[in-house]
Amino acid sequence: MTTSPSPLLDRLAGRLIVSCQAPPGDPMRTTETLVRLALSAEAGGAAAIRANEPEVVRAISREVGLPLIGLWKDGDTGVYITPTVHHATAMAEAGADIVAVDATDRPRPDGSAFPDHVAAVHARGALVMADVATLEEGLAAARDGADLISTTLSGYTPGSPQQKGPDLALVAALAAGTRTPVVAEGRIRTPVEAAQALAAGAHSVVVGTAITAPTALTRQFVAGLAQSS
Ligand SMILES: CC(=O)N[C@H](C=O)[C@@H](O)[C@H](O)[C@H](O)COP(=O)(O)O
């Protein structure tokens, strides 16, 4: 685990961050429901919440006393996590303590570069989480001023390994390659895998689907039963 100069990052050290999101069209995708999920995560001992869109971040920040990682998903191909400086700025202004931004090496719709996002978010007093898919992207983001690096996008870009479980090899490689705190995120399904992520060198662990997505979890059980019949 890395030590960090920021009191906020110190609060997250060795702790669980719960991602409270729901995909478009999902019955859970109402602001009130997402606030309830965040309150449940707080009651269960989470250290922070990761949430999507300005309205949801504003609502959670009113009712939940935890630090907030805000992102703004726009679209579902290419760069869709906080794709432009406008999106990043809006999340910081909505009350995100940390703004998560796609820091893969793909072009952004507004032609911006990752350092433009870092400058805009830092100017508003928030920190930046770089969502990456590869070691090279993570190291570049650290050089460009990211406050945290998250493995969020491993498995979701053409150049990264497609695997069922979390990319713990990427967590370990990033933790060995940079002093910037590394967050393990993506397909962490059990408490054992969360602990393995910390053992691999993660500063914190983000879990979404396994805690906050009943539709996806139901589908997994339905598929399991279909396989056995
Ligand atoms: C790839 C992408 O768009 N990830 C998103 C990022 O915010 C979310 O859809 C994920 O739920 C989140 O990363 C947590 O991961 P998991 O739900 O696997 O625990």
Ligand 1 atom, smallest distance to 152 CA = 13
Going from the Cα of 128 to the center of ligand 1, the distance in angstroms, rounded, reads 17
Ligand 1 proximity of 83 Cβ (cutoff 6 Å): no
Query: Structure tokens of 60?
Result: 């959670």
Q: What is the pLDDT of residue 229?
A: 76
Ligand 1 proximity of 186 Cβ (cutoff 6 Å): yes
Long-range contact pairs involving 38-44 (C-beta distance under 8 Å, separation at least 24): 38/63, 38/64, 38/66, 39/63, 39/64, 41/66, 41/211, 41/212, 42/66, 44/18
How much is the pTM? 0.97
For the chain, domain boundaries = 7-222
Low-confidence ranges of the chain (pLDDT < 70): 1-5
Query: Residue 121, class by beta-carbon neighbours within 10 Å (0-12 exposed, 13-18 middle, 19+ buried)?
Result: buried
- Per CATH, domain 7-222 is 3.20.20.70: yes
Q: Rounded to 5 degrees, what are φ and ψ at 188?
A: -85, 115
- Report the distance separating Cα 185 and Cα 183, nearest Å: 6
pLDDT tens column, 88-113: 999 999 999 999 999 999 999 999 99
Among protein residues, the one whose CA lies closest to atom 4 of ligand 1: 152
